[in-house]
Amino acid sequence: MDHIQQTIAANLISIRKKRNLSLTQVSELTGVSKAMLAQIENGKSSPTVTTLWKIANGLQVSFSSFIQEQKAQVKKIQLNDLKPITDNEGSYVVFPFFPYHPEKKFEVYIVTLAPGCTHGAKSHLGEEYLLVKDGDLSVIVDGEEHELTSGDALQFPGSSPHSYINRTEKEASFFLLMYYPEPQ
């Protein structure tokens, strides 16, 4: 796949996903077959100018929106700039570094748990990926306890009953990535 094909494919996918459109819906709006749209998105076909105009007109976007390169965004976030979310009278604190975005399907937090604190989490969609940053942490998932220390990680379904426990006299902190896969 050449560079322009990659750019067109990435931009078509981005425009379609931002509008939550299926290939079938884009096909209906543009008059371009679903098979051709799939080939363009997969980089297996380079659209003609006429085809690209049909897609642009059907989606009501500019022709150039398909051929402009998307500049990778760099986003710096500082802990002091975040507004924490607290629970258990401030003993469980969540810093939302990267809140959920539908195109990304994940969110990332730093969580701190005060000494002697237990936090029972509600069952939820998705999967949890936890990495202990500082301190010691016990995580109970489906009744099974997992002892973790700095550098240890744990993955489990969010739908499983789970809780976080800090049995030490030192604050524990961990990175928490919540992943939301596509519905099956």
Q: Which domains does the chain have, with CATH numbers?
A: 3-66 (1.10.260.40), 79-179 (2.60.120.10)
Say whether pLDDT at 138 is over 80.
yes
User: Where does the pLDDT of residue 39 fall: very low under 50, low under 70, confident under 90, or very high at 90 and above?
Assistant: very high
* Chain CA centroid to CA 2, Å: 28
Encoded tokens for 103: 């195109």
CB atoms within 10 A of CB 37: 22
58 within 8 A of 4, measured Cβ to Cβ: no
CB atoms within 10 A of CB 116: 11
Instruction: Kindly report the average pLDDT of the chain as a whole number.
Output: 90
What is the per-residue pLDDT across 93-117, written as a single tens digit (0 to 9) for each? 999 988 877 667 889 999 999 999 9
Lowest mean pLDDT among 89-93, 139-143, 156-160: 89-93
Q: Mean pLDDT: which of 37-46, 95-104, 161-170 is highest?
A: 161-170
Q: Which residue has the higher pLDDT, 64 or 12?
A: 12
What is the per-residue pLDDT across 57-104, written as a single tens digit (0 to 9) for each? 999 998 888 888 777 678 888 988 888 888 878 899 999 988 877 667
Say whether pLDDT at 31 is over 70.
yes
User: Where does the pLDDT of residue 1 fall: very low under 50, low under 70, confident under 90, or very high at 90 and above?
Assistant: low
How many CA atoms does the CB half-sphere of 10 hold within 13 Å?
A: 13
Say whether pLDDT at 142 is over 90.
yes
